Amino acid sequence: MTTRSLLILPGDGIGPEVMAEVRKVIDWLGAKRDLAFEVSEDLVGGCAYDKHGTPLHDDTMAKAQEVDAVLLGAVGGPKYDDLDFSVKPERGLLRLRKEMDLFANLRPAQCFDALADFSSLKRDVVSGLDIMIVRELTSGVYFGEPRGIFEEGNERVGINTQRYTESEIDRVARAAFDLAMKRGKKLCSMEKANVMESGILWREVVTRVGADYPEVELSHMYADAGAMQLTRWPKQFDVIVTDNLFGDLLSDLAAMLTGSLGMLPSASLGAPMENGRPKALYEPVHGSAPDIAGQGKANPIACILSFAMALRYSFDLGEEAARVEGAVEAVLAKGLRTADLLGEEGVSPVSTAEMGDAVIAELDASL
């Protein structure tokens, strides 16, 4: 029996609650599909700071480097707002991304038919939506130097530097083209080449890489125009590739096209390991939501779907990933909704655990 190693980092706020529902799916795969996972669990974010004085202990970082995949819940909360920037909970997540060199962030935005009316856009605009945003994750303005707050004359100035090398652009572009080849063979690259030199380089490198993928239809769009088009007619896109800052903004915008951040997973992929699989971290798009933590209101679907992405990209279990995704879709079609998805007529409110149980019931029905 093949053993697949998985490090679970529930984190803060609702993280432990939604991760508990993922554990149900993992246990189900072991019991019903004979798929063994070697699961370990550790701390990240505020809870790690509470115990170790750091948002990510070195031992935890070492574990993350050794396993096949890392699954993270959420980090942060108001109790940590006054901490020094260097030890804020989010620094633990950024360290994972940086030291694992997870340069390609995959953010799908899929609108399940049962939730099409829940979006703020009209049904015909979002029904059937299935796009993927590939965001460069380890460079750009979030990591460029110089950065900081400095004295300049009689006032302070805040500085962040947008910096990209050709190789950094090349590798995330290739990840996006490879993904486009497996989907609709259409890729749109977004930057601001009209006002930023980094954008000019970005467009040049992506165009050059595109020559190696003649089957993929490549287009370019300024990121601000892309934001407008995502809200006008998002189904014109299939795969979008963009830099760290624009990807952060555009993927959150795309997320809300589907109705709720509680529905959306993500994958962060790096270079292949010795087994040929990429280093990978999977996490829901939503935050730690401390205002509802411990109340059974959190939506576990994004975390469950993040694990489905792990099944597909880290464990080569595409059939089982589709089974989990199908179970989620079936649950939603029956009208079961956590607190973030209430508001429609004829739906049935359920708790976090009840939503997880319903997914397991649909997995049973899929056999």
Angle between helices 89-99 and 58-66 (to 10 degrees): 40
Please state the residue numbers annotated as binding site: 77-90, 97, 107, 135, 224, 248, 252, 287-299
Q: Which CATH class is domain 130-257?
A: alpha beta
Q: Considering 50, 101, 170, 224, which one is annotated as catalytic?
A: 224
Is 192 assigned a catalytic role? yes
The pLDDT score that the predictor gives to residue 1 is 56
Token pair in block for residue 203: 């467009």
Q: Which pLDDT belongs to residue 122?
A: 87
Per-residue model confidence (pLDDT) at position 345: 72
Cβ neighbours of 106 (radius 10 Å): 23
The CA–CA distances, whole Å, from 157 to 85, 88, 148 equal 17, 22, 8
Cα–Cα–Cα angle for 174, 176, 177, nearest 5°?
65
Residue type, 336: L
Active site residue 142: yes
pLDDT of residue 131: 95
In single-letter form, the type of residue at position 9 comes to L
Which residues define the annotated binding site for substrate?
A: 97, 107, 135, 224
Q: Hey, do 1-102+264-367 and 130-257 end up sharing a CATH topology, with the first three levels equal?
A: yes
pLDDT of residue 282: 97
Three-point CA angle 185, 187, 189, nearest 5°: 170
Helices 301-313 + 318-333 axis angle, to 10: 160
**Bond before 146 cis per omega within 30 degrees:** yes
What residue numbers does the annotated binding site for Mg(2+) cover?
224, 248, 252
Mean pLDDT by 10 residues, the chain (367 residues): 88 97 97 95 98 98 96 96 94 93 94 82 87 95 94 96 98 96 96 98 98 98 97 96 96 82 87 81 93 95 96 93 96 92 82 98 97
pLDDT for residue 111: 86
Active-site hit among 248, 282, 313, 340:
248
**Would you tell me which CATH number, out of the four given (2.40.50.100, 3.40.50.300, 3.40.718.10, 3.40.190.10), belongs to the domain 1-102+264-367?**
3.40.718.10
9 by DSSP, 3-state: which?
A: strand
The predicted-structure confidence for 25-41, as pLDDT tens digits, reads as follows: 999 999 999 999 999 99
Per-residue model confidence as pLDDT tens digits over 79-108: 999 999 999 999 999 899 989 999 999 999
List the binding residues for NAD(+).
Answer: 77-90, 287-299
Map out the domains of the chain as residue ranges. 1-102+264-367, 130-257
313 is catalytic: no
Is position 117 annotated as part of the catalytic site? no
Catalytic one of 68, 192, 282, 313: 192
| Number of neighbours of residue 336 by Cβ within 10 angstroms | 20
The bridge status of strand 104-110 relative to strand 348-349 is unpaired
What is the pTM for the complete model shown?
0.89
- Residue 128: what pLDDT? 84
Q: Which of 101, 178, 252, 357 is labelled catalytic?
A: 252
Other Cβ atoms closer than 10 A to 128: 12
- 224 carries an active-site annotation: yes
SS3 174: helix
- Out of 142, 164, 282, 313, which one is annotated catalytic? 142
The span from the CA of 27 to the CA of 36, in Å, is 9
